[in-house]
Each structure stands twice: as structure tokens, then as C-alpha cells.
Amino acid sequence: MTARMLRLYPGKPEEIALPGTYLAHRLHERGSAAAPFVYASFVGSLDGRIALRDPATGESRLPAGLVSGNDFRLFLELQAQADCLVTHGGYLRDLAAGRLDDVLQVGTQEATRELAQWRADNGLPPQPAVVVASASLEFSMPDSPARHGQRVLIATGGGAPPDRVARWRAAGYEVLIAGTGMSVEGGPLVRELGNMGFRSLYLLTGPRMLDTMVRDRRLSRLYLTTAHRLLGGESFHSMLSGPELGDAGRLRLCALHYDASAPDGTGQFFAHFEPQPA
């Protein structure tokens, strides 16, 4: 049975089909070389947790109570509209350790073939390019991007260790210097990727990348799923790190949907926001 949800805003409340809702946003058509469309998504609890950290080991995990098939479907729809996925060293280390699944390709499972077809029908290449942001440059590259013919770039700051930059270049990877410190900065990264012809950049990253993109006013849209539960936990991540944001953190609600069925029989809001012009 097709999952359904209630659109609460804008307009009068209306029940609609969940699949296709985010594909209808046509994110791949919203950007240009001068201003690529940069979007991020998070799923969090009502008490603002996006991940819990094990106090003993320091390892972080996505609690089962935040996960649902309906949210994952909308995540896949966001991923399908990207011509470039931005991930990071932390994710590749988690992938290598078997802590997270590989989400660097679109439509490779039987259940998601229609998304591969959607890309073809909409003039997108079969797979998005992949950018790995890392300050340490200490991660191992999974083989899935090469198997699927994806262009892979590594982004780092100008202060990155030169021997590690040289090592990745020697291994055949393009290394972008985006920022003057150790970390990748939002402004230079988006400018470089725009110059390379990318128009829709999906941030499969976390609190640090969101911080620099918002601070540099490069984030075009934020998708936020809020699971209707309180998680607690003394050590946790929220969606943002870094000092106070000030006016760059002002957002405006574009749409709000209510899914009463998931996760785990509670409910969740699907919202998306855009930065409020200064």
C-alpha cells in the first residue's frame, strides 16, 4: 500500500502520497554554475538529537527510534536529484568499519530502480559525482564509486598535510583545496564545484559541514525530519556544531508534512526550510 501523509503547510491540510513528494521539488533544476543548489537533510528527535555517543567507547550511532522506511524513501528521493554528493572522511571511516551502509549510489537495489530511471528521464547522469571532505585525509576509499563509474574528488583545506595531499593525487584522485585553514569552507567548496559544472549538491555530511555552509550563506535548503520521541542520552550530537550563528541561522518554513504511522508507531514531521534573506 502506498504510504500517505498529511500536508499541513502550505495550504489547507490535505492527505497526499508520500512517495514522489520530494522528487516533485526538482532540485536538479534549481541551481546554476554561479549558484549551485546546496541542500542537506537531517533526522532528529524532539529533544534535538541526531546521534547518540557511547560514553564508554566514544562511538556514535543513529538510534533505531529515528529510523523509518518512510524517511528513508524521502532521503532516496533527495539523493536521486543530486549531480554531486558531498560526504566526508568520518563517513568513509564508518563505512570501512562496517558501522554504516554505503549510500553513495542511486537506484542500485531492486526496490529503487525507478529512481535510476527517474534520473535518466530527467537528464541526469546515471550516478552523481562524490566529493569527500576531510581535514585529516586519513580514510580509505571504498571501491563502490569506481565500480559505478563515479567521478570522485577529495576536498580539504589549504593547511592539509602536503604529503597526504600528494599521496591522494598520486593515487589518481583530484584534490580540491577549499579554504585556508585545515577544514573545508562552504564558500570556496561551492564555488569550485559550481565551476566544474555541478548544479545540485546534496550534503551527506554532518554538523561541521552544515555549520560552514550556513555560516558562509551557501545552504539553499534544509530538510528536517523530526521523529516524535524524546531520546535523552547524556552524550549526543545535534545537527550543528560551532559558535553562535547569528542572522545566518534565520530560516523560513517552506512546507510541513505529518506522517502519523512512523517511526515505530509514533509519528514524524517532514519539514523543509530555506534561509531567510538578510
Ligand X SMILES: NC(=O)c1ccc[n+]([C@@H]2O[C@H](COP(=O)([O-])OP(=O)(O)OC[C@H]3O[C@@H](n4cnc5c(N)ncnc54)[C@H](OP(=O)(O)O)[C@@H]3O)[C@@H](O)[C@H]2O)c1
Extended beta strands in 36-126, E state: 37-45, 51-53, 60-61, 84-88
Parallel/antiparallel/unpaired status of strands 84-88 and 200-203: parallel
The vertex-103 CA angle with 101 and 109, nearest 5°, equals 95
For residue 106, the Cα-to-chain-centroid distance in whole angstroms is 14
Q: Does 133 bind ligand X (CB under 6 A)?
A: yes
Q: Does 206 bind ligand X (CB under 6 A)?
A: yes
Smallest gap from Cβ 139 to ligand X, in A, equals 6
Cα separation of 47 and 230, whole Å?
6
Q: Does 237 bind ligand X (CB under 6 A)?
A: yes
Q: Does 148 bind ligand X (CB under 6 A)?
A: no
Smallest gap from Cβ 14 to ligand X, in A, equals 27
- Which residues 15-74 are close enough to bind ligand X by CB under 6 A? 42-44, 50-51, 60, 62, 66
Cβ atoms of 253 and 62 within 8 Å: the answer is: no
Q: Does 228 bind ligand X (CB under 6 A)?
A: no
Q: Which CB sits closer to ligand X, 37 or 42? A: 42
> CA-CA distances (angstroms) from residue 187 to 136, 168, 192, 209, 255?
20, 23, 9, 11, 27
Among 150, 183, 226, 268, binds ligand X (CB under 6 A): 183
Q: Which CB sits closer to ligand X, 60 or 261? A: 60
Q: Does 238 bind ligand X (CB under 6 A)?
A: no
Q: Does 193 bind ligand X (CB under 6 A)?
A: no
Number of residues interacting with ligand X: please give it, by CB under 6 A: 26
Q: Does 4 bind ligand X (CB under 6 A)?
A: no
Cβ atoms of 70 and 261 within 8 Å: the answer is: yes
Among 126, 142, 207, 267, binds ligand X (CB under 6 A): 207
Q: Which CB sits closer to ligand X, 94 or 274? A: 94
Among 32, 117, 136, 140, binds ligand X (CB under 6 A): 136
Q: Does 267 bind ligand X (CB under 6 A)?
A: no
Side-chain-facing half-sphere of 151: CA atoms under 13 Å: 13
Residue with cell 543530486: 82
Q: Which CB sits closer to ligand X, 135 or 153? A: 135
Among 22, 37, 139, 198, binds ligand X (CB under 6 A): 139
Identify the burial level of 60 via C-beta atoms within 10 angstroms of its C-beta, where 0-12 means exposed, 13-18 middle and 19 or more buried: middle
Q: Does 208 bind ligand X (CB under 6 A)?
A: yes
H/E segment holding residue 250: none
Among 124, 209, 231, 271, binds ligand X (CB under 6 A): 209
DSSP 8-state class, residue 237: E
Cα separation of 31 and 198, whole Å?
9
Q: Does 213 bind ligand X (CB under 6 A)?
A: no
List interacting residues with ligand X (CB under 6 A).
42-44, 50-51, 60, 62, 66, 88-90, 133-136, 138-139, 183-184, 205-209, 212, 237
